[in-house]
């Protein structure tokens, strides 16, 4: 899991906050934190089969809205990450990785619609109010993926002949 953001830019820190809380709940979860610079993100997810990214977005939706984006179902809209200080952000990293054939087998992005990206360490009330919901959704997604992997692994084991 990669929590993306800057905790000193208000709602931009929501990805880091969610990732940290999920890390506290599960010691089996590998957590990375990132600023959102695309090349670094690609390096982080390269060795992984299943990656979840959590980041703040600005798409024009209501603050606090949760977007779940599956990189295999559709391209990631670059306008979601247009507030980033990096020219090569999450969306561009996903699409570059797709073009290079280096996307993880599963890549899901949870984007939480931000309200304020100004200096400050407090999340807006709209974003704070959905933290538990995001944590629950990501946890359910990770559990479903783990169950899927267990079924796939047990299906692929050889059965001894009698």
In a domain, 154, yes or no: no
Q: Within the chain, how many helices (H) and strands (E) appear?
A: 5, 5
Instruction: Tell me if 79 sits within 8 A of 59, measured CB to CB.
Output: yes
60 Ramachandran zone, left/alpha/beta (phi>0; psi -120 to 50): left
- Per-residue pLDDT at 155 exceeds 70: no
Residues 49-86 as b/e (b if ≥16 CB within 10 A, e otherwise) read ebbbbbbbbbeeeebbbbbebebeeeebeeebbebbeb
**Does residue 51 lie within any of the structural domains?**
yes
Which residue spans within 8-162 are E strands per DSSP?
32-34, 50-57, 66-70, 106-113
Residue 66 within a domain: yes
120 three-class SS: strand
The CB-based long-range contact list for 75-80 (8 Å cut-off, 24+ gap) reads: 76/109, 80/111
Tokens coding 79? 């306008």
Give the separation between CA 81 and CA 41, rounded to whole angstroms: 14
User: What would you report as the CA-atom Rg of the chain, rounded to the nearest whole angstrom?
Assistant: 17
- pLDDT tens by residue, 62-83: 999 999 999 988 888 877 765 5
Residue 49: pLDDT above 60? yes
Domain count, the chain: 1
The CATH number of the domain holding residue 48 is 3.40.50.1450
Instruction: Print the domain residue range for 66.
Output: 2-128
pLDDT class of 87 with cuts at 50, 70, 90: low
Distance CA(113)–CA(138), nearest Å, equals: 16
Q: pTM for the full model?
A: 0.85
Tell me whether residue 61 is in a domain: yes
pLDDT over 90 percentage in the chain: 54
pLDDT at 152 over 60: no
Average pLDDT, integer, range 96-125: 93
Alpha carbon distance 29, 63 (integer Å): 28
């Amino acid at each position: 899991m990669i929590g993306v953001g800057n905790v000193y830019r208000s709602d931009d820190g929501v990805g880091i906050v969610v990732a940290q809380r999920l890390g506290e709940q599960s010691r089996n979860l590998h957590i990375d934190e990132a600023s959102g610079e695309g090349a670094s993100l690609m390096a982080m997810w390269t060795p992984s089969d299943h990656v979840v990214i959590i980041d703040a977005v600005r798409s024009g939706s209501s603050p606090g809205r949760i977007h779940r984006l599956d990189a295999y179902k559709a391209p990631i809209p670059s306008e979601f990450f247009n507030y980033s200080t990096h020219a090569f952000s999450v969306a561009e990293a996903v699409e570059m990785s797709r073009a290079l054939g280096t996307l993880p087998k599963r890549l899901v992005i949870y984007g939480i619609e931000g309200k304020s990206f100004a200096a400050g360490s407090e999340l807006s009330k709209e974003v704070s109010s959905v933290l538990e919901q995001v944590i629950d959704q990501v946890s359910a997604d990770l559990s479903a993926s783990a169950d899927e992997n267990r079924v796939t692994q047990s299906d692929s084991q050889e059965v001894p002949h009698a």
